[in-house]
Structure 1
Amino acid sequence: MRSRPLASSVALALAAGAVALSGCGGAENALSTADVEAGKTKFVQQCGGCHVLNDAGTKGVSGPNLDDAFRYPREQGFKETQFFGVVKR
C-alpha cells in the first residue's frame, strides 16, 4: 500500500485549523455573561491594595497602575477582548 504523507499532513493541518477557529469569538461571549460587580468586588479585595484602577476605586501603591497598563495598545485600536488571558485570574 502506498503512503500519502502530504495528504495526511494537509488533513491534519485542516483539522488543527478547524479546532483552533472553533474557539474564536469565545471572548465576546465571556464579556456578555461576565458578572462585572462580582469581578469588581474580587479585584478590590485581592488586587486593589497594590494596583490603581479608577473603575474599581482602588489607589494601590506598589503594583503597576492598571489604568495605564494597556494604554498604548488601546490607542492603536486593539480590542478589550485581546487582553483576556494576560491578566492572572
Structure 2
Amino acid sequence: MSSKRRLIVPTPEEDAAINAGIAADLDTYELGADEFKQLKRIGRPPKASPKVAVTIRYDQEVIDAFKAGGEGWQTRMNDALLKAVRQGAH
C-alpha cells in the first residue's frame, strides 16, 4: 500500500528564503559538527525482542474478522497467535 502524499520540494529560491528566515531568527541556533555528534537519539528504545516482518497468506475470512474490530487489527492478530503458541496450539 502506498501513500497518496507527494513530497513537494522547495525551489532553490524558496529554500534560500527559508534559510534566510532561519538565520534571521534570534531563537534559532545551528549546531556545530562537534555539538551535532553529541546529540542522542530520542524516541522509543529498541525492543529486547523486536517483531519480524514476514509475508504470509491468511484466509480472507480471518483477515475480515480482525479488520472488523477497527484499528490495531494486526496487533490483535499477533496477540491471538501468541496466546495460541503459549497454550501449545502449534
Q: TM-score w.r.t. structure 1 length?
A: 0.22
Highest RCO, 1 vs 2 (Cα 8 Å, sep ≥ 6): 1
Q: Compare CA radii of gyration and give the structure with the larger one.
A: 2
**Structure with more of its chain in helix, by fraction:** 1
Q: TM-score w.r.t. structure 2 length?
A: 0.22
